[in-house]
Chain A
Amino acid sequence: MDIDDILASLDHDTTAVESLRSDADNYNGSSTLLYSDLTYNDSQTKDKQNPNTISNSTATTSATITTSAQDYNNLIELWRNERCSPELLPYPTKLLDRILPRLQQQMEYIESLSMGFISEYSQSSKLPLLCMEAELERLKFVIRSFLRCRLKKIDKYNFYLQSIIASSDTDSANLLSKQESIYLNKHSQILLKLFNNSILKHMPVDLQAIQDTEGSISMVDEPKWDQFVFIYVKDLSTQSFMVTIPQLNEEVELSPGSIYVMRYSVIRDLLMQGKIQLI
């Protein structure tokens, strides 16, 4: 190997990495609203992806790769948020619409590699294949765990979710994916049928309600809004956030890069804006 080649390619690499870095920085800096920003970011990616499929130049390829790395990091963050938050968070439609086809493509690619073409490659090629398969499993794991966590919450807050969706808040529009809302509807139907057939129809009519709010306690379980959660204030800027705990009339300053234990209701807005993450 020629030293010039190495130097030349090193040069090339560093610039590539730098441009990736600044890309990432831009992304971070502009991501004021994580959950809605996925939309914003999405339009950018689409612009990028289309030329990629046509031309195969290294520069654009690396751009998509960075995006997929960012997408993965976003997914991990959303997964952690979902696992730690008491309520169901909005479904990241755009993000998963990008990740899932990629997953599918990769599966097909690996399939085709291991089916026929493997003999064309040297022995050392087994290693990338091994890693690609491992990566696939890792990605599948996160997605699966993420969706399972959501399903659990959909089960748990069945009637509550139905009621907020019925009240047609703008918030609730992107709360569930298509499949999830089908699941929610079917599940509650089955549950209601079970309640009805086994108990409720044997009761007096005025005791048949399952969403009676007459008594002191609502029959519909809501997420525990005041539950304590661990948050990490992202290092986006040097600016810190002031939050108020209404029950205690207390103001708390959240400085970037710090970890706090806080009531969920207090930091919910910051979470939705992507300024903090749950850990």
Chain B
Amino acid sequence: MGYYDIDDVLTDSAEIPCTFNHTIPGLGFLQGNPGKSINKNTRVTLPLWMSRMLAMVGGEEDGEDIPFVELNTPTVFSQKVINAIRASPTSLDIHSLYGHYYDMAIKWIGLFEDEKFAEICSELLLQRSIEINAHANSVMLNIHSNHRPSNLKYSGSNKGPTTIQQVTPFLFDIRRI
């Protein structure tokens, strides 16, 4: 992850719901009220790079150091999504949740040192990668069998558990296109 890493930059602009812990004058533009102040307990979504800063520094209130904003769990990491991941990591449309899901998860985990969520995410990554790899292999096998009609796919389904045709019937449609 370097300075110029475009994925990193994009991930840093992910929107995070935040709640302000202080009333801050002049920040109303974040809410669409330029010139006004932003009130305590207002909920706004801010990009990750900004909310991270605001969540780390803060002002004093009642003798306690309270950060400017409180980070709320974004929907993509909500309990609902976590339950769905637990139920079946491979049948979730992660891309529709967020394009850089893992990168964002890594940042989120880093903020809270959330080992539990790290484990869930690792499992998610692993299961999905294995599934994707299986699909990729079946594409390879199909390409080979086009070159050499030596019943590669049939011998495969008899001998080993690589019954890829059954797993991924739609890949044959890709070939027809």
Contact = CB atoms under 8 A, between A and B. Distances in A.
| Chains A, B in direct contact (C-beta < 8 Å) | yes
Interface centre among B1, B3, B4 (most CB of A within 10 A): B3
Contacts, number: 11
Contacts of B2: 217, 221
A221 B4 CA distance: 8
Interface string B1-43: 1111000000000000000000000000000000000000000
Nearest to A215: B3
Interface residues of A, number: 6
A218 interface: yes
Contacts of A218: 3
A173 B1 CA distance: 28
Interface in B48-83: none
Interface in B143-171: none
A217 B4 CA distance: 10
Interface in A47-104: none
A219 interface: yes
Contacts of A219: 3-4
B23 to A, nearest CB: 29
Interface string A181-223: 0000000000000000000000000000000000101111100
A224 B176 CA distance: 41
A217 B2 CA distance: 7
A151 B35 CA distance: 54
Interface of B: 1-4
Given A219-B4, A221-B3, 9 more contacts: A215-B3, A217-B1, A217-B2, A217-B3, A218-B3, A219-B3, A220-B3, A221-B2, A221-B4
